[in-house]
Chain A
């Protein structure tokens, strides 16, 4: 079925004109004179495009647009609004409400049809994103060769054997790119491109000119006609495909920025003046140059419009009621998105001070209203050319900057990687050193101690009668010191191993480990009577060996520090808190002062004298490191003489995972 176009306009002339044009273009027009008729038509079924007059006899076109945008069935329908130029407020409302295009009356029929087809094509393209390429070539051999290459490169190919046929197919099919031979029967390639460039609906299509001759002039002619690229046939089909891909990429990126699209589409000029007579004259003169002209009556209107529509050039009257030209200019030039748009100040005054006033407000140029329009048009052209140069230069600068940034980023990333690798190496080396160190400690520091202890013992045993009581007591202290040093070495080695060991998490029954540790403790000191309570079924994903070491230390401490309490109690359990499970070991022993709590977990820190409670001061540092390795936390609460509670958390980790 043909795509449907709903034309809503109270003017019979407009309806007939558009209906005829759309029918020729192969669409199915539905005509309505009022908003009510349009609603009835829409309720019968969706259409593909709506052409909507702003002023309808029974209501407001923008209100109807709002209904269309709010209805699920027509939300994505393309809407082109028609309006007379005076109503700039309607243009703003229309674009804000969601119009896809806003065309001023008197409209150009061909442009309206072209825009409508463009929207239809955009919808079709979203279904099939293969690029369609029109090949205009009279030689069947080369045409077939090129067509085959294009097909296998994933393009959809359309063909024409003459310039006339090509232009017809271009208008009818709206290809994504045109490849045209320079020499054709009838109109030649350069003329085809020139005509394409003159057609409002086609001028955005990238064109590639082919030629058989290596003639410098033909290239200039082609570029002059508006070709995007120029290829000699001798250079081969592969090069044509490469150039084609490049111009399509360019066209695609141009479409991303609306400002950039306007480089190829009709230029839009915003004219701001409080005199309707002058505005009409200006509009007439500029439309003759194929510019799209928007007329605003005041600075306020102009600023409001610029917020919703981008333009290519602004003509601004200096003397206006309200905001005035100077202030309007200043505001436009201070807005990020429009500051680059060329602004030409217009004034009736022919004096230097007005000129300086305008330029100091940020205007790019200045022209007297009394000048001929030809001069004004030339100035407009010059400003837009300047803008285009600047855009291109900026584009080149941005590209260079981007490349520089990329290079710098790549260098930074490489340096970072090198630094990291060096650090990892250094760390590994240090780890090896540390390992070698603790290995030596493990071997070499123990042996002399064994000598000290062993020979002291032999002295005590075999030469006891030759020593007095004091001598024997000294020897006992030598032995005690040697043994204590042995314990220190063992504990230190354990601490250092825990930092190096691979963490191997499995599901473990912590309750059972707790029971086992307490059983060991009471086996070693069967005379102690301690009430031990272990909460059942504490299951945890952690390194079982390390958790056992932690519990040996914590429960061992509890055991040790309750040794002077009559009814000793030790409890191991867990409680649920907002952050998760918190395990605790509680005793009613000696406790410690919270004032020293910060020293608890540092190695060699002891809060009790060795005479009172023996120990190396490494146990809690070891526990701390074990908890750390499990991504958990440890803290303690205590009151002197009331016992202590140690709390710890273990963060959930991957089973079997190492860190």
Chain B
């Protein structure tokens, strides 16, 4: 199957968004990165509604990098709706957040997150994390076959 090479980054903090882009750039992950600024935008993109109604809905991101603390619809709710929908239920979702609170980790896995990564404060470590995420989710990881509609 054709891989879309798209990463959906759900991140409301522009600094964090730029740093994540910089980290991927630095680690030579040359994928298309779509940024959603809040949970609602993320859901609109994934389900091709609202401002993303015109996008090719057959192209799903290979991985969603999801922050938890988001305006409008928070990360855990996004995760819940993604897992509840037949089209996105097998989509890899990596929770990428500042917190390492135990209850966030547990709630995320309970709702079906594939991975939980804490954003390091140290930019050097952050870049390393981005590099490894790119390598793992975009190269090594095998996606579930797309459903035919």
Contact = CB atoms under 8 A, between A and B. Distances in A.
Interface string A456-471: 1110000000000000
A444 B15 CA distance: 13
A486 B122 contact: yes
A453 B98 contact: no
Interface in B39-73: 68-69
A524 to B, nearest CB: 14
Interface in B115-148: 119-124, 126
A483 B100 CA distance: 17
B101 interface: yes
Contact of B99 (A439, A453, A457, A483): A439
B16 A451 contact: yes
- A444, A454, A456, A457 pick with most chain B CB within 10 angstroms: A454
B18 to A, nearest CB: 8
B10 to A, nearest CB: 15
Contacts of B124: 457
Contact of B15 (A439, A443, A447, A479): A447
Contacts, number: 59
A482 B124 CA distance: 13
B106 interface: no
B61 to A, nearest CB: 23
A439 B122 contact: no
A446 B119 contact: yes
Given A451-B15, A451-B16, A454-B19, A446 B122 contact: no
Q: How large is the interface on A (under 10, 10 to 19, 20 to 34, 35 or more residues)?
A: 20 to 34
Contacts of A455: 15, 19
Nearest to A457: B123
A453 B102 CA distance: 25
Given A483-B121, A483-B122, A486-B122, A454 B15 contact: yes
B101 A439 contact: yes
Contact of B123 (A439, A442, A454): A454
A449 B99 contact: no
Given A442-B98, A443-B69, A453 B122 contact: yes
Contacts of A457: 123-124
B123 A453 contact: yes
B108 interface: no
Nearest to B100: A442
B31 interface: no
Given A442-B101, A443-B97, A482 B69 contact: no
B17 to A, nearest CB: 11
A450 B16 contact: yes
Contacts of A451: 13, 15-16, 19
A446 B15 contact: no
Contacts of B101: 439, 442
B22 interface: yes
B98 A482 contact: no
A468 B99 CA distance: 37
Contact of B22 (A439, A454, A456): A454
A-B pairs with the 6 shortest C-beta distances? A486-B121, A451-B15, A454-B123, A457-B123, A454-B19, A446-B98
Interface of B: 13, 15-16, 19, 22, 68-69, 97-102, 119-124, 126
Interface of A: 439, 442-444, 446-451, 453-458, 479, 482-483, 485-486, 497
14 contacts: A439-B101, A442-B101, A443-B69, A443-B98, A446-B98, A446-B119, A446-B121, A447-B13, A450-B16, A450-B119, A453-B121, A453-B122, A453-B123, A456-B123
